[in-house]
Each structure stands twice: as C-alpha cells, then as structure tokens.
Chains A and B, each alone.
Chain A
Amino acid sequence: MAGHISWEHESDAALVRRVLAGDVEAYAGLVARYRDRLGRYAVHLLGNTADAEDALQETFVRAYRGLAGCATPERFGAWVFRILVNRCRTMGAQRSRRERVVMSNESMLGEADVAHPADRQAWAEAIRWALDRVSPEQREAFLLKHVEDLSYQEMVEVTGVRESALKMRVKRACETLRALLAEVERA
C-alpha cells in the first residue's frame, strides 16, 4: 500500500517518467488515477459496461505501449483521453454492425422503461434511452462538453475535430435530448 500512497502524491509527469525508466508498477498509479473518469465516459458513450471496460483496458494498454510518444507527460490525462475517444469511436462502429439486428427490439424496451421518470432509476434509464438515440458523433461531443466539462479548445485537442463542428454537434445533441426527455417528463 505504500506504493499506492506515493502514487497519490506524484504528478502525472513523475509517474510517466518512472514508467519510461522501467518501473512498470508505477503505471498502476496512472491507471488508478484515470480509470473512473475515463470509464464513465466510455460507459455513457458505448452504452454498456462490458464494452466500456474492454475499451478502457485497450486504451490503457495502448497508452502504455505508446507512452514514449506522450510529448507532454504532465498532460497525460488529456493524452490518454484522446486514445479512449478514438477507441470508443472504433468500438462504437463495430458495435453498431453487431447489434443492428436487435435494434428494433431494444427501442421497444427503451420505451417501456421510461414510463416513470420521477423515479431516479427510471430517469437514469430515460437518459440512457435518449442518449442512445443521439448520433455517436453528437453523443461524443455532448459528453465531453457537458459531462466531462472540457473547453472547446480541449475538445478540439481530444477529438481532432474543428471547433465549429463540435459546437454544432453539441447543439444538435442538446436539441435531441431536450425533445426526447421533455416528452418523457410530460408522460
């Protein structure tokens, strides 16, 4: 546990340097530091925990593999977030192929689940249902902006997408969510 305590007091840059110097175990400090925030993004973007954990595991392994290429170790968080965003894009594309067949049934289930939005669980499910109906690009932009609280400049860095396009995606995501959830609340 002593190692764990020391990780908490070490900066990202210090941990990255330790890993690059051969201290593989120091990487656990970076994983522990970012797993929850990255995991939250992946779960909401991909819509299920299993895919999210898969994406997260691959992200951390890829980040480790390319750690020497992390040009600014003090910004490891932003760098690994970018890897996750790309990983989720790829996995999202794969998932949409795999699950196309069952989408219609899922839609019906979603509607059945949102009957009582006053209930906290039902509200969470309603959000999940609505989020699933936002395009992946718009969902990505919405989560980064409103849930992860990234600035547009940071979003450009993480996604590689132009700011104007990101603003448009966030706007459209909000419009869709408002339309869907307002309807749920009225129900």
Chain B
Amino acid sequence: MTRNGKQNIGQMVLTLIMIAAALIMIIPLVWMISTSFKTQPEVFAYPVKWLPERPTWEAHRKVWLGALNFVKYYRNSLKIAVLGTVGAITFGSMAAYGFARVQFRGRNLLFGLYLLLMMVPPQILFVPKFIMFDWAGIYNTHWALFLPTMFTIIGVFYMRQHFLTLPKELTEAAIIDGAGHFTMFRKIFLPLAKPTIVTFAILDFTWAWNNYEDALVFLIDEDLYTVPLGLNNFLLEYSIDYPGMMAAATASIIPIVLVFLFGQRYIIEGLVSSSVKG
C-alpha cells in the first residue's frame, strides 16, 4: 500500500475514535433534548429511543405556559446577565488597560491583590454579602446579583494578558503625538482588542446566565427567580416529571448554545490567546 493510502486509513481510524469520544461528550445533551419530547413511560424505555416514537410538545408547553413560567425567569436572567456583562466589560477593559499600559505608583501591588482575590472561594463571601446587602436594602433584589457581576477579577486578569501582547510602539507613538490615554484607549485599543472583548462579553454572559449559587443565596421571591433557580424549583415541584424536567433544562441552555454557535471562533481563540500567549 502506498504511503498516502496508509495515511488516509490512519486518518479515518483516528476520526472514528474521535467521533466516538465526541459522542460521549454530547450524549447528555442529546438525552436531555430527546427526553423533553417524550411521554413519561417512554423515558426509560430500553434500548433507548433517541428519537421518540410520537414526539410531543407537552413538556415544553408546561415549561413555558405552566404555573412556573419560564418567560418570567428568562426575563430576570436576561436582565441580570446583560447589565452584569455590560458593566464587567466596561470596567474590566478599563482596568485591564490601566494595569497593562499605564505606569502608576502601586500598580503591581494592586494587581497582586487581584491575583490573591482570584483564590478566594465565592462561598467565603456568602455570609458577609448577605449582611451587607441586607443593610443596603438590596437583599432579595436583582441588584444583589448584577452589581457584583459588573466587577470581574478574572476578566481583568485575562484582558490584561491580552493588552500586554499588543505592540508597545502603539502606545509610545501615540503618547508622543500628545494623545491622552483616554483617546488612545478609545480610538486604538478598543478597536484592536475587539475579539478579546467579545470573548469576555460572551463568557461573562454565560457565567452570569448560569450563576446558580448567588441566586440561591440572595433571592427569595419566586417572582425574582432566575433560570437556574426556576429550573431547581421545577424539580422540587414536579420531582418525577422527567420530560418536564428535561424540557426545563433544555429551555435553560438554549441561549448559551446559540451564543456558542455564533461566537465559537471568538471564545476559543480568545481563551487561548489570553491564557497561553503573553
């Protein structure tokens, strides 16, 4: 057999192995969506019916139009995630620029503090934040969720890494021209750093959308619930309604899957360029 033929066979075998592995990765998602279109008795039929015999929208109808309506949870989550992301990107990119590109006294000390705070487990902040939010009158409001989201430490860290990789001459030339840092940030850096910023907008949005623990701790009223809390609530109310549970789970991942499909290239390249290089 020719060398080329051998190579092709190797490539086929490897592709098959990788496809098998990739199937394991997406089976829980496929299972989720497929179950959401089943009737209760069909859920655990064996061998598994990946395509339900008589697909039904019943479970989805229950999720979207039932007593626990997901439209409300969606609105709440969307509001928190959008406000939080806009803040995180604005304040985060400014701080990242300051730490990466401006010389000022105490810079390394302050940035060291950020690195230290990255180690802090969020659970250590539960009780003190609970007390502080209670004092400030924002406990059991959406403010308790989106305000902290607006200040991302990890985002500052990654965006700074990226700003460091942009050529130094860029800043120097513009400074000599007399452009202030604010002009430079707006006119030169933001356009250049657009891919990174889009990446972090997507990631921040994803994290805020999936944030379950803060919602669990800081929200009481069912009217204020976000999607992950609503999902949990669904389980408490209808514990063995498996198609319903999976329809609720499917509803909760739709925006993330959409964002991923459209922003895949950004997410992957952005993550790589800010953690590997620089």
Chains A and B are bound partners: no
